[in-house]
Structure 1
Amino acid sequence: MPPSRSDLADFTYFLAIARHRSFRLAGLELGVSASALSHALKGLEGRLGVRLLNRTNRSVTLTAAGEELQAAITTPFEAIGAAVEALNRYRDGPSGRVRINVVVDAAPLLLAPVMPKFAEQYPDIEVEIAANNHMVDVIDGGFDAGIRYGGTVPEDMVAQRLSADLRWVVAASPAYLERHGEPQTPDDLQNHQCIGVRIGDGSIYRWDFEGPAGEFTVRVPSKITVDETRAMLSLGLAGMGVMYGLEPVFAPYVATGELRIVLQDWATFGPGYHAYYSSRRQLPTGLRLLIDLIRQMQPLGL
């Protein structure tokens, strides 16, 4: 018996839940409430006569039947999605939905300058941006692409450069520097209050510098540690300590005199932002247009 229209819609829900192992995350991807997904899956399981998911308060796992169904229908549904996406070339204007996962600083530095023009040029394309510093499997997460620093892009992905290499610098407020003095070399940081940053893999970031003998890293003393840029900035602007980050992040505050760059001669460059996506899937039209516009406008150079 061929599947009903209800089955086809519920299969889409089932695949999203199977990818995320979470009703909440699947709902965010699909724009559907977790309770609606739960109701739809119960209906699907009832019509099929088998349990597809094991659900507890803390986890969602696939049953053997669920694993078999996921393996059987994933490729056909991806093919349907690619066929629908291909119809964009026949429309007056491209449409669709793009989901991207980006490292936090890329949202204001790279995407914010581009999105107003993108929205104006392509009003029928929806863009969902998930900003976090944890490495995410974009395929399992249901994303079309990710944006990360060049050196962190998974090797099995197609990557496109979106910016020039980025300069990493040390900054502090004038009030802090008046109280504690200005460090002259990276070794001087051992006598300063440094604001540590916990990066996506859970480690505390070591500060990178470049001197006469080449690049080197410094483990700085940190009584205060944060895991994202906004918290670091708020503390640094309040005079709580010395910060390490991307020069473009500090630039607006340097321009107003709220921050000062120090150890300029020791600053180093790191890989710029890259978009990455699976080579096994057709590139969605909206994603291709967004990448093209970023590369055209070059908010961080190229």
Structure 2
Amino acid sequence: MPFRRSDLADLSYFLAIARHRNFRKAATELGVSASALSHSLRGLEERLKVRLVNRTNRSVTLTAAGEDLHGAIRDPFAAIHEAEDMLNLHRDAPAGRVRINVPDEAAMRLLVPVLPEFVARYPDVELDVCVDNALVDVIDAGFDAGIRFGGTVPEDMIAQRLSADFRWVVAGAPDYFERHGEPLHPTDLMHHQCIRLRLGTGRMYNWEFERGEEALALAVPGAITVDNGSTASALALRGLGVMYTSEGAVAAMVEQGRLRVVLSDWASPGPGYFIYYSSRRQVPRGLQLLVDLIRELRPLGL
């Protein structure tokens, strides 16, 4: 069956399903409902008279025909999207949609402070911000870019610095230290309640410390493990344990007396936030404008 012009939208939906192998995630990327996505695919399969996707309650896979179709149309559709974005260079005001994957602290501390100005300057650019601490393949997941700490950016990506480097510290509520005492050396933490951190890769993070020529990395004990900084802060504020965090993330709470930093002479330096994107794709105009604005306003220094 020959393709019809009306099939173009359904084919773009099919590509999103092929990228994510998940209807809900594909629907989120496209800004439609999962049921609309399913209806679109079903209509496309009926018109082409071939099954493209195998669906069960647990998995979504491409059939042999689906794999062939995906391989044939993926690059042409990518070229169409790049051509669409190139038109921004000829518009008085940039437009389009930009999808970014960011961890929770970067969203709150890096993006939120600049978004009011971004929206005021570029009202026709739509930003889709996915807050996710898991380390995902941003290209395969359909994102234009991701933001991560410098040491975790994939090597095959182009990266631009968005913040100054950080200092990593241990902090807890004053009443926690009144009950348990303050650690005087990093190894004292082995006798404290620590709010442990699971990285986006799934592995547990060892708390790192430096003082002069000395360096330590400790697998600290603790009854609670979290995978994002905002949850760790909320638990630390309730006196449930000490947390390991960037100094800036708790600066306001420390100034208010709600948290206290300990072992400050053992604070460990670490790379700041970087935005990264594919070297094989044209950078969307809206994305470059966002990067430029962050570097102009410097919410976390630079």
Measure, in 2, the Cα distance between the counterparts of 1:104 and 1:214: 31
Give the aligned length.
Answer: 302
What amino acid is aligned across from residue 91 of structure 1 in structure 2? Answer: R
Write out per-residue CA displacement over residues 257-297 of structure 1, whole angstroms, 9 at most, x where no aligned residue. 10111101000111111101111111000000001111111
Match of 1:277 in 2: 277
Match of 1:300 in 2: 300
> 5+ residue gaps in structure 2?
none
Kept in 2: contact 1:98–1:125 (CA 8 A) = yes
Match of 2:141 in 1: 141
Q: By how many angstroms is 1:234 displaced?
A: 1.5
* TM value normalised by structure 2: 0.97
What percent of counterpart residues are identical?
63
* TM value normalised by structure 1: 0.97
Kept in 2: contact 1:109–1:248 (CA 8 A) = no
Match of 2:189 in 1: 189
What amino acid is aligned across from residue 231 of structure 2 in structure 1? Answer: A
Measure, in 2, the Cα distance between the counterparts of 1:83 and 1:98: 15
Kept in 1: contact 2:104–2:230 (CA 8 A) = no
> 5+ residue gaps in structure 1?
none
Q: By how many angstroms is 1:219 displaced?
A: 1.6
Kept in 1: contact 2:110–2:294 (CA 8 A) = yes
Q: Secondary structure at 1:290's aligned position in 2?
A: helix
Kept in 1: contact 2:99–2:127 (CA 8 A) = yes
RMSD over aligned Cα atoms: 1.1
Q: By how many angstroms is 1:5 displaced?
A: 2.2
Kept in 2: contact 1:237–1:259 (CA 8 A) = yes
Match of 1:225 in 2: 225
**Superposition map of 1:228-243 within 5 A:** 228-243=228-243
Match of 2:122 in 1: 122
Q: By how many angstroms is 1:252 displaced?
A: 1.2
What amino acid is aligned across from residue 255 of structure 1 in structure 2? Answer: E
Match of 2:48 in 1: 48
Kept in 2: contact 1:162–1:298 (CA 8 A) = yes
Measure, in 2, the Cα distance between the counterparts of 1:100 and 1:43: 30
Moved more, 181-190 or 64-73: 181-190
Query: Is 1:80 equivalent to 2:64 in the alignment?
Result: no
Q: Secondary structure at 1:158's aligned position in 2?
A: strand
Q: By how many angstroms is 1:89 displaced?
A: 1.8
Moved more, 198-207 or 106-115: 198-207
Write out per-residue CA displacement over residues 176-225 of structure 1, whole angstroms, 9 at most, x where no aligned residue. 11121111110111221111112212222111100232432112111222
Q: Secondary structure at 2:6's aligned position in 1?
A: helix
Write out per-residue CA displacement over residues 239-270 of structure 1, whole angstroms, 9 at most, x where no aligned residue. 11111111111111011110111101000111
